[in-house]
């Protein structure tokens, strides 16, 4: 039997410029939401993660760092739920 799954994801990246009258520091916020569904369309798992930090000039590089810091926990959750739904122990 062929098994398949679909992992549509949503990642929201917000880079906030300094507010008026505040210290001149950028802030990066990352919010990620994923839903793992089986080939039959039924949901197997949902996972989300958030991370934020103040940034220097390289806001894109920091965004990637923030994503990488949370990626393992999201993948572990999705994989664990996938194995559980397949009956793997």
Q: Encode pLDDT of 47-85 as tens digits.
A: 999 999 988 888 889 888 998 999 999 999 999 999 988
- Mean pLDDT of all residues in 14-27: 68
CA distances from 87 to 37, 66, 79, 83, 84 (A): 16, 33, 12, 6, 5
Q: CA 45, CA 80: separation in Å to the nearest integer?
A: 9
What is the token pair recorded at 64?
Answer: 């990637």
Residues 6+ apart with CB under 8 A from 39: 2, 3, 4, 5, 6
What is the token pair recorded at 61?
Answer: 């590089």
Whole-prediction pTM:
0.71
């Amino acid at each position: 039997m062929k098994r398949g799954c679909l992992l549509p994801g949503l990642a929201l990246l917000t880079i906030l410029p300094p507010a008026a009258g505040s210290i001149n520091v950028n802030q990066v916020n990352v919010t990620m939401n994923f839903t793992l569904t089986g080939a039959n369309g039924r949901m197997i798992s949902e996972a989300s993660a958030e991370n934020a930090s103040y940034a220097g000039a390289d806001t894109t590089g920091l965004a990637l760092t923030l994503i990488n810091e949370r990626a393992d926990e999201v993948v572990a959750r999705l994989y664990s739920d996938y194995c559980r739904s397949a009956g793997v122990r």
